[in-house]
Amino acid sequence: MSPAMRRWAARRPTARHEAGSGSEAAPPRRPSVSRAYNFGAGPAALPEPVLAQAAAEMLDWRGSGMGVMEMSHRGREFGEIFSVAESRLRELLAVPATFKLLFMQGGAIAENAIVPMNLVDLRPGHVTEHVITGLWSIKTHQEARRYGEARIVASNAVEGPGNHTTLPVAATWRLGADASYVHVCSNETINGVEMHELPDLRALGSEAPLVVDCSSHIASRSIDWSRIGLAYAGAQKNIGPSGLTLVFVREDLLGHALPICPSAFDYATVAANGSMFNTPPTWSIYVAGLVFEWIAAQGGVAALERRNVEKAALLYGAIDGSDGFYANRVAAGCRSRMNVPFFLRDEALQAPFLAGAAERGLLQLKGHKSVGGLRASIYNAMPLEGVQALVAYMREFAGRHG
């Protein structure tokens, strides 16, 4: 038996969770001691009512005799799930009718190749322009080089701890006249910088469409579609399970895929087949639909945005008010509402900080390995109470060790 198998055996479901045990215990319906506050950067916490409903409908979706995972993607039942999810999301984000909404696979990292395969041929030079703001936009730039000339038009990279902690002012971007598109990542999870306004490329003298990787803050705030040609998002932060990618593409950009673009990733083909050219990730779409329903029940994206502003203000306030015990390095005005990295003045306290947090059910607070320190991701599904609990713990910890 391998060590992993041994750990597995030790983790066999407890009686409370035992499937087929005949026990009458339902999955927990309300916050319970067993649910932690999960500050992971993604895949990330989901709203508890979404999980509860997914569990309750697992074996029989609303009298259909089937669970959602068991449905034909072309059947009537899944057709309903799909079309309701799509129209809800369009409504929540006020997506204009000129945009196609595609449900795809592969996440943002696959999309880093799929976007150029679909759009680089918009202009003959096959030039793409990239604004570097952190690791994710760097990866996007590197991947685009497979398909054309990928230029860096601006960057926030510097030596030392200030690396990727600002945002290059749009007026300084060195935009050319020949680009097929300009790419930005509007929220970088690792250093925690967020574009609070998208650039107006026309005002900057560029005719190129703006392509936005908004994986890590989609649905946390409103989107100015007038500035966007294409936006994409891996689902696993604010939308649902990993394995689903949302692509919003302006219709006039369709139909330019390179001959080497796989059919399954040709936006025009995917759009013409209603995201069912290949079998879509049906379960992930179903859960995303439940999340959209939950967002609507919270009062929509505007209400969540207000809550996100409040949560972020509370957490940054605690950091900034700690007399340097904790520090966030990101320039004011560029700080992310979703991902809040912070550092302890005394690095030796990091391990005790994390251990004490875990004891209190405050999970996944370790920073990304490339920057170290701590990080709290406070996506839509993180309730204000979770941030309050974190802040209370931070104050208590600083009091003990300050």
Catalytic residues: 136, 213, 237
CB of 80 to a second copy, least distance (A): 6
Measured CA to CA, the distance from residue 342 to residue 397 in angstroms comes to 14
* Shortest spacing between CB 212 and a second copy, in angstroms: 19
Among 192, 234, 367, 373, binds a second copy (CB under 8 A): 234
Of the candidate spans 55-63, 178-186, 301-309, 343-351, the one that interacts with a second copy by CB under 8 A turns out to be: 55-63
Q: Where are the beta strands (DSSP E) in 345-392?
A: 362-363, 374-377
What single-letter DSSP state applies at residue 95? -
Q: Give residues 95-154 in contact with a second copy (rule: CB under 8 A).
A: 105-110, 112-114, 117, 143, 146-147
Site for a second copy in 313-372 (CB under 8 A): 361, 363-364
Q: Indicate the helix (H) or strand (E) that contains 258.
A: none
Between 314 and 363, name the residue whose CB sits nearer to a second copy.
Answer: 363
The least distance separating a second copy from the CB of residue 96, rounded to whole angstroms, comes to 17
Tokens of 247: 């692509």
Asked if 239 and 291 count as a contact pair (C-beta separation under 8 A), the reply is yes
Rounded-to-integer distance, Cα 259 and Cα 55, Å: 43
- The window from 173-181, 235-243, 314-322, 325-333 that contacts a second copy (CB under 8 A) reads 235-243
Q: Does 163 bind a second copy (CB under 8 A)?
A: no
CA 159, chain centre distance (Å): 27
Among 153, 287, 374, 398, interactor with a second copy by CB under 8 A: 287
For residue 67 the two structure tokens come to 């669970």
Nearer residue to a second copy within complex by CB, 113 or 231: 113
Q: Is 26 in the site for a second copy (CB under 8 A)?
A: yes
Structure tokens at 27: 């999955």
Residue (5 or 332) nearer to a second copy, CB: 5
Distances (CA, A) of 45 to 42, 255, 379: 8, 37, 8
